[in-house]
Amino acid sequence: MVKWKRNGLQSLCMNMSTKYPLIMVYIETCLMVHTFILLYQWKCHLITIRNLSPVYYGNIIPAAETSVKPAVLYEQNEDSLWTLVMTCPDGNLADSSKELLHWFVGNIPGSSIEKGEAVCDYLQPFPPKGVGFLRYVFVLYKQKQALDFKKWQRPAGCLSLRERSFSTLDFYHENEDNLTPAGLSFFQSQWDKSVTSVFHHILDMKEPVFEFIHPPAYHPAQLDFPHRQPFNLYLDTYKDIKEIQEEVLKEKLKHVDISKPHSPLEYPSADPIPLKAPSWLKFKMMSMRNGKKQWSDLHEDKD
């Protein structure tokens, strides 16, 4: 028990992963085999079912396959009591310092999850777009006796993310005299098209999209006379991208004839370039003819 408190869920999970049996959790038609670690050798046998998608530690399950609450299968005597909690430690949009509670069932007689007390109804995972994979953790507790979960009770069908904020550590500290962590496993999931529907039709909120903001490209201080560098390319490095795009568009419009279909040059390098033109201008003309660098838009195919 000291080890559970000191090292936390992840360390405990990794240290105990090879020593204890499994519990099966399936979602809809895709059964997920979660490795619920047993801290003590209670009777809990692996149930074998064909054509299942096993989940151990961090297996990937598509968000679209988690729309229906999971049915947890394990073998225990009816006179024993259990608590099952499902949380996401990574995806609480309302309070980043806490987990998001997806499911909570207490006072489960034996393995009959449906007969347990629904403390918080099931809410399917909805990893936002742009955040990558999020973890969804199942923790199974062995109860010493029937417990009162009124403090943790959420309204039926609760869809408030703030009300679903949860701390596994706080919950366990308050109930450690009557609860013993019996098993733990987790899967990972990332955004897919089904998540958009969850935000719009279930949570009734605008879907957040996260994007990485790239820092501006670093350029050293501009020189008045750069040595051995084509000055037009050197100046382009310090130009605003909109200014470059405007130059390309103006050049493109010079050659647009709305009465004729667009036809790219068949032999762009066949026309001679003035011999007396400076090297930088020769290079620019060749780039424009061949659609190189920023001039690639000049030769886009028209529909």
The residue extents of the domains of the chain are 6-202, 231-298
Q: Which residue has the tokens 């886009």?
A: 300
- Kindly report, residue by residue over 39-85, the tens digit of the pLDDT: 222 233 333 333 455 556 788 888 988 888 876 777 788 889 999 99
Kindly report the number of other CB atoms within 10 A of residue 121's CB atom: 17
* 231-238 vs 279-290: helix crossing angle, rounded to 10: 60
pLDDT range class, residue 20, cuts 50, 70, 90: very low
Q: What is the pLDDT of residues 129-158, one digit of tens each?
A: 999 999 998 888 999 999 999 999 999 999
| Phi-psi region at 228: left, alpha or beta (left = phi > 0; alpha = psi -120 to 50) | left
**Residue 218 in 3-state DSSP?**
coil
Which residues, other chains included, contact 285 with Cβ-Cβ below 8 Å and sequence gap of 6+?
273, 277
| C-alpha to C-alpha distances, 51 to 21, 27, 30, 47, nearest whole angstrom | 20, 13, 9, 13
Looking at the domain 6-202, which fold is it?
Phosphatidylethanolamine-binding Protein (3.90.280)
* Terminal CA-CA length for the chain: 69
Asked if residue 256 has pLDDT above 70, the reply is yes
Distance, in Å, from the CA atom of 24 to the CA atom of 113, rounded to the nearest integer, reads 13
